[in-house]
Amino acid sequence: MIGELAALGSAVSWTVSAMLYGKALQREKPVSANIVRLACTSPFLLILLGIAAWSGGLGNLSQNVAILAGISGIIGLGLGDTLYMLSLKLMGVSRAVPITCTYPLFNILWAVLLIGEKLTLFRVLGALIIFSGIWLLSYGKGNSDGEGQSRFLLRGLLAALVTAILWSISIALMGIAINETPRLNDALVINTIRTVTVGALLLGMSPIIDRQRDFLKMKKETVATLTVGGLVALGLGWFFLAYSFTGIPETQAVPISSTTPLFSTLAAVILLHEKITLKNALGSVIVVAGIFMIFIV
């Protein structure tokens, strides 16, 4: 039961962070926002890393596990989350989150292509259901600038789908690392290594990826919003997911964590006042139903 609750905790955490990111991204560029989020969150997690090292957790990690954690962070938090923020900016929380949460579908593809797992009828049906939900979520009525609106939706859709692919790879690598050291302290250390590695990398690359130094010009309110969002998503969400791997199989934990669309759709209406059409709401439910069909049936 603890593993299931931890996975559900990650879904709730990512819903909260999506709301905060959505608010901050109304004014900032995704790359700049991700630099600030990681740079400001890393010091807090380093404090926890020091506590873990003092208790003996850090010493139990092998070099291979640390490398896996770092690569997982670069792929998922660096590349994936930057595209995630772009999709949030272009499509809004209620549309972007359900599409990015199709990452379990790609985990299935890796299992079939790389490990040789059999592709069952239910998994094929689940995949079709997921993509039908994506179509509903990406569908929107144009405004006076219908062509421009369509381009934004297409760019947002592509960014969200690539995010899901990158997250699936990142989660798979993190799962391998956690399975080698299945303890609470180790889950905390691995999550911290992922975050700090990417934070340092993006900060070092900022002269190239954020040439106008927009991340240094943000208002304090926006920095605070991104920092809190980062602590919730990285400090709690990814830690909960990592810890869930120590209690239940990855094939159970991942779909539970991907139920974020159910929470985010409601939160987007209540907190961000986004307009949700019947198609968008139905699309969110369909995506989650397809995910559960793939992993549970």
**Could you read off the pLDDT of 208-234 as tens digits, one per residue?**
999 888 999 999 999 999 999 999 998
What are the residues whose beta carbons fall under 8 Å from the beta carbon of 92, sequence distance 6 or more?
22, 268, 272, 274
Distance (Å, rounded) from C-alpha 259 to C-alpha 7?
10
**pTM for the full model?**
0.80
Helices 278-295, 103-110: inter-axial angle, 10-degree rounding: 30
pLDDT at residue number 92:
82
Most confident segment among 36-45, 58-67, 168-177, 235-244: 36-45
Residue 181 pLDDT more than 80?
no
User: Which residue ranges make up each domain of the chain?
Assistant: 2-295
| Element spanning 201, H or E | helix 184-209
pLDDT at residue number 283:
79
Distance (Å, rounded) from C-alpha 160 to C-alpha 87?
5
Q: Which residue in 98, 66, 65, 100 sits closest to 81, CA to CA?
A: 100
pLDDT top residue among 74 and 259: 74
Other CB atoms within a 10 A radius of the CB of residue 128 amount to: 12
Distance (Å, rounded) from C-alpha 86 to C-alpha 185?
33
Mean pLDDT for all residues in the chain: 81
pLDDT at residue number 117:
63
pLDDT band at 114 (very low <50, low <70, confident <90, very high): low
